[in-house]
A and B are shown apart, each in its own frame.
Chain A
Amino acid sequence: MNTTILEVGDVSKVFHVKRAGIVDDLVAVDGVSFSIEQGRCLAIVGESGSGKSTIARMVAGLEKPTTGTIVVGGKPRGQLPWPRADRRTFARQVQMVFQDPNSSLNPSQTIEDSLLEVLRFHHPERDGSWRQKRISELLEQVGLHERHRAVRPRRLSGGEKQRAAISRALAAEPQLLILDEAVSALDVSVQALVLNLLTELRSRLGLTYLFISHDLGVVRQVSDDAIVMRQGVVVERGATQAILDDPEHEYTRALQDAVPRPGWKPARRAL
């Protein structure tokens, strides 16, 4: 039973940027296609300007593709702005966890309230006791405690905030979870905990991830498949392990060579 959760077909995004009074076309994403099956994790790897986050934002419905199609769970996502009737469905299908939990959690809302908001919106038919039970379940899943219910984000550490952001995304029971550099801002010891959590959640709940990252080590840790992007174009794709063990494209090799590891020395390249 290989259900395709996400299908991105020949998607491009052109931004019109103004430079010195002249409007220029900036092609952020140039004809990218890929798909993710139920329960899999696909990583998009790239450096700044590669277009990886723009793809994530288009899949989530935060950005309008210039051309191409995005299909989630067999249902094409219409052109933005979505009709009112579809908005809730589309939003529930795909949830996103961002790099900086400070900007995705409301600072004046307790963790409980922030989860309640999502539960009320996406499960209006359920009653209060169901919601309370669900909150306990969500907190437990991401390793937070009951005492965190009444706490505001300010009182949480970076790792705890990111756990809260993950629990909020899971509250909608999305078909696809997008993680956009979701562990990049965390200290390495905390990052490891969240990476292990993401791996565990995926196998326990059968989640499907689109994982955006610049970090090859992190990508190797969490993803089954990967695509490597550079300047809006896919330069290499395949099973993560195969790509990292035996990169075919010179850019992938350069990325791999640049990662510090025991015995590594930085290499000076001519400009």
Chain B
Amino acid sequence: MNDIRPLLEIQNLAITITVAREPRLLVRDVSLSVQAGQALGVVGESGSGKSLTAKAVMRLLPDRSQVGGRVLVDGRDVLSLARKDLARLRRREIAMIHQDPRSAMNPVRTIGDFLSEGVRDRPADERRQLAVDALAEVGIPDADRRFAQYPHQLSGGLLQRVMIAGVLMPGPRLILADEPTTALDVTTQSEVMAVLSDLQHRRGVGMVFITHDLDLAAAVTDNLGVMYAGSIVEIGPTASVQTAPLHPYTVALMTSRPSTTNVEPLKTIPGRPVAAYEVGAGCSFAPRCPFAQALCREEAPELQHIGDHKVACHRAKELAGHIEEKLEVLS
């Protein structure tokens, strides 16, 4: 491990949200960290808690939620920050990029207004220059024309670039990108990801990249965590998680994805993803896992070190390298 203090450190995060008077556990015992200049990918399906984890970092969860554990940004506990400090953190230090830029931007304000929002305290001409530079950085050359335009006049890809330019203008140290390209066409996704990843490296900022697409996350991150039912089931250096996955769920995510280069019946797992509150005793993945044994149904596995990454699976050691061959083709 690194002895430099991480930029973001989440310790034992637990999130419970009350729905119809019923408290629902949605994230449990999530711990992760991001160093400055590094990118962490968080991959999961619906209900895995990946977006809630990101929202907790910004304290953007609804009022009816209870949050346990600690979220440290540069050593300061976000969960207990005073209002003023929280506002500063949101405005200056953390940039959040959402899936749909159209719903994250005010439709009646121009692109110019949007861009200068984060640097309101600067003089007008300086604001403009900063915005021009920011647009150039994300590959938008004709700043003057764009300034006067409204969000509806721009394509999704262009708008997401504007969003990236805007949130990076105040000089944040951490980017939280929540499915930033999911609503985009695949060719546009490639461009926007290139812009984002490039900026993240050039600025030396940390990034948490949330997605359902493991290969996409792997392309732009240093470390990769896989979430299932509100917990991290596997986490480690991206290359080793991608090439030598240890959790049956991680393997199933990869073999479920149809390839563009060959056709084989897809090896997958039965059932559907579940949320943390639907999980009984034992491993959250056990009901869908073809390798589950009695122990898996009785006792929840802790994250354990195997090689250079951590995995929460009782059978990880014995199954290592043999999961894919044992998965079945189901329909």
Contact = CB atoms under 8 A, between A and B. Distances in A.
A2 interface: no
Contacts of A254: 187
Number of chain B interface residues as a range: 35 or more
A188 B258 CA distance: 9
Interface in A134-155: 143
A18 interface: no
Interface centre among A244, A245, A260, A270 (most CB of B within 10 A): A260
Main secondary structure of the interface of A (DSSP, over half): helix
Interface string A227-271: 000000000000001001100000000111111111011111111
Contacts of A217: 257-260
Interface in B220-270: 220, 242-243, 252-253, 255-263, 265-270
Contacts of A187: 45-46, 212, 272-273
Given A261-B259, A267-B191, A269-B191, A197 B139 contact: no
A206 B219 CA distance: 40
Contact of A214 (B185, B262, B267): B185
Nearest to B213: A260
A220 B219 contact: no
Interface centre among B192, B262, B263, B265 (most CB of A within 10 A): B263
A86 B190 CA distance: 47
B11 interface: no
A262 B242 contact: yes
A192 B266 contact: yes
Interface in A184-219: 187-197, 199-200, 214-218
A237 to B, nearest CB: 17
Given A189-B45, A262-B242, A268 B194 contact: yes
A241 B261 CA distance: 8
A172 B259 CA distance: 32
Interface centre among B191, B253, B257 (most CB of A within 10 A): B257
Given A189-B252, A196-B266, A196-B330, A266 B193 contact: yes
Given A255-B187, A260-B215, 4 more contacts: A48-B185, A189-B45, A192-B258, A217-B257
Interface of B: 45-46, 139-141, 158, 185-195, 197-198, 212-213, 215-216, 218-220, 242-243, 252-253, 255-263, 265-270, 272-273, 329-331
7 contacts: A190-B272, A195-B258, A215-B258, A220-B261, A266-B191, A268-B139, A268-B191
Interface of A: 47-48, 143, 157-160, 187-197, 199-200, 214-218, 220-221, 241, 244-245, 254-262, 264-271
